[in-house]
A and B are shown apart, each in its own frame.
Chain A
Amino acid sequence: MRFAVAEGVLGRSVGDDLLVHLFETDDVFVLNRDARVVFEAVKESSSVDELHAHVASRVFGDALELNQLVDTALERMVAAGILVRTVED
């Protein structure tokens, strides 16, 4: 399993934050800097492990705790319609 940015999602930087617009529903979300790190990591990763490693390479902290925080953020973004789960390549 992996995560991908849903179709019709447009991001725009606002300072450190990222404003995300979902064309499908016209919903708008603001991702803070840390959530943005996760969002950007999704675009550059082809697996969840790679995604975890990508975030860990940018944030210093306990790897396990980081992974859990990243997983929670991913679930929230899926629930919001920003991300979708896909089968790993």
Chain B
Amino acid sequence: MPDTAGSRRLVVLSLNPSEYFARGEGSESDVRGVIGKMLPNAEFELSAVDDRTASSIESRLKPPQQELLKNLASQGGAEGLKSYNVKFKTPPAAKELTDDQLKSVAGGALAAYRFDPQIAAIRRPLGGGIGPVGVTVGVGIAGKF
């Protein structure tokens, strides 16, 4: 599969606010590109790590995060997965960022923007709320509701 198209498996897990551990398919430059597109204004260093270093980093992850990595490996193609250490250099100077930049930056202290799905019911006025509508119901009952 070419690096410029299709989908890939990539898991990103936080070690601390400025350091992440990533494991996924694709070349280093490809993974760098993916993260760069997601955080266009964040400076970061991405470095591939060998298995021994990866194991050491994995031991710093929380148990549920380690479980997630196991699940990723169990999906097959584990030999094609590479591990990376991601360190952010961008200072968490939120007030220096624009609103759009704030929305695009995520992760620990860098996270002026936090993924926060919200679902809210809209309460409408009784009777439809569109305004006075003449309605006739049955026989002999007419008026504005």
> In chain A, residues 49-89, which have Cβ atoms closer than 8 Å to a Cβ of chain B?
53, 56-57, 59-67, 69-70, 72-73, 76-77, 80, 82
Closest to B9 in A: A53
Number of A-B contacts (CB under 8 A): 83
Contacts of A65 in B (CB 8 A): 14
Interface size on B, residues (CB 8 A): 27
B117 touches A34 (CB 8 A): yes
Contacts of B14 in A (CB 8 A): 61-62, 65
Binding site for A on B (CB under 8 A): 7, 9-14, 20, 35, 38-39, 62, 64-65, 68, 106-107, 111, 115-122, 124
A32-B116, A34-B116, A69-B115 are known contacts. Are A63 and B121 too (CB-CB below 8 A)?
A: no
A4 within 8 A of B: no
**Interface size class for chain A?**
20 to 34
Most buried by A among B9, B12, B107: B12
Contacts of B35 in A (CB 8 A): 60
A64 touches B13 (CB 8 A): yes
A64 touches B65 (CB 8 A): yes
B48 to chain A, nearest CB (A): 19
Contacts of B7 in A (CB 8 A): 53, 57
A61 touches B120 (CB 8 A): no
A29 to chain B, nearest CB (A): 5
